[in-house]
A = this chain, B = another copy of it.
Amino acid sequence: MDSFGFAVLQTEGLARRGLLKTAHGTIDTPAFMPVGTAATVKGMTSDTVAATGAQIVLANTYHLMLRPGAGVVEEMGGLRRFMAWPGPVLTDSGGFQVMSLASLRKITENGVEFRSHLDGAMFKLTPESSVEAQRQFGSTITMVLDECTVPDATKADAANSMRLSMNWAKRSRDAFREREGYGVFGIVQGSVFADLRLESAKALTKIGFDGYAVGGLAIGEGQEKMFLVLDATLPNLPTNSPRYLMGVGTPSDIVGAVKRGIDMFDCVLPTRSGRTGQAFTRRGTLNIRNARHARDPRPIDCDSDYPKLGDISRAYLHHLFKAKEMLGPILLTMHNLHYYQELMQGIRTAIAEGSFQTFASEFYKVQAEGDIEALL
């Protein structure tokens, strides 16, 4: 079993091409992690997730602790065996979902009490219990419990919230049981305030983690503010550890964040959009439900090298969505996840070749051109 470790192979400006070694496999970075909330990337078998090029998936502690329960997952051999995904798994701490999904939250210095959105049962989440649940899941990468600062928080509130999170980060780190090849990541908070982000980054670096996440972003602040926060935060994180931008984002967010030095991403966009008919392509997004696709024999993306969808026409996908057939969301999720992985592969190759700046310019140019209309 390999020890947990990160190596930067090449850099171009602040962008980094790296390798993250774990007990369950090596991840090429910059990497995108598909979201498998309830131990399933919605609509995908683990085979098809792997076929898109994904090397690591994310699952949500909040959902899994409520159903089927951390004990059941542990009993069934851990999350990787449970969902038949042989590669690495990262789990979040549950904090973010408690804020967005649970009712009757009560936050104290010790942790969070909340009612399950499923059946109203009371649960408690502390730094220690979150880390323990993630141990029961057998998560390759454990995230510390943090409080997600609300959008538009005052500076005083953001500071208090961040300092509580730093306290919890220390307790999470202490609760984490070291195992060869497993890691625990801290999470920088501090809302949009550069000095709070700096304070947070320093506090986490002092505790010492296997990787550092940037949290509390992509919650409505907009791309420009998000990038400013990254500009202020990333120079204050260790260069020899992976950096993970949580819950981000659009292809454009990803390219911009890689440029600033981010190594890892997760987002529900490719999967959630795939279920509603939105396809990501080199030329921006398109909605397959639109009538213009009804007789279009072309694949969604003529330039894609994904063999699974080479024979699938837009007309067929349009039909499947109109007929509310499960296969529509399945195929479009496959397409979108593959698009994201192709994007990451393109980014990695470009950094390795020292052509990331050119890659990024070309990316923005082609995205702006938009979809080519069919010749009917």
Contact = CB atoms under 8 A, between A and B. Distances in A.
A327 B42 contact: yes
Copies held by the complex:
2
Interface in A309-351: 311-313, 315-316, 318-320, 322-323, 325-327, 329-331
Nearest to A85: B311
A13 interface: no
Contact of A295 (B72, B313, B318): B72
B42 A325 contact: yes
With most chain B CB atoms within 10 A of its CB, the pick from A68, A308, A325, A327 is A327
A330 B326 contact: yes
Contacts of A316: 39, 76, 82-84
Contacts of A42: 325-327
A326 B325 contact: no
Contacts of A45: 308, 327, 330-331
- Chain A at the B interface: SS class: loop
A370 interface: no
A322 B68 contact: yes
Interface string A55-78: 000000001000110001001110
Interface residues of A, number: 39
Contacts of A44: 327
Given A330-B326, A330-B330, A72 B294 contact: yes
A313 B40 contact: no
A200 B252 CA distance: 66
Contacts of A292: none
A330 B318 CA distance: 20
Given A68-B294, A81-B311, 17 more contacts: A39-B316, A40-B320, A40-B325, A42-B327, A43-B326, A44-B327, A45-B330, A45-B331, A67-B319, A68-B318, A72-B294, A72-B295, A72-B315, A75-B295, A82-B313, A83-B316, A326-B330
13 contacts: A38-B320, A40-B323, A67-B322, A68-B315, A68-B318, A72-B315, A72-B319, A75-B297, A76-B295, A82-B313, A82-B315, A326-B329, A326-B330
Interface of A: 38-40, 42-45, 47, 63, 67-68, 72, 75-77, 81-84, 294-295, 297, 308, 311-313, 315-316, 318-320, 322-323, 325-327, 329-331
Closest 10 pairs between A and B when the two form their complex, measured CB to CB = A84-B311, A43-B326, A40-B327, A68-B319, A38-B323, A40-B325, A76-B315, A82-B316, A76-B297, A84-B312
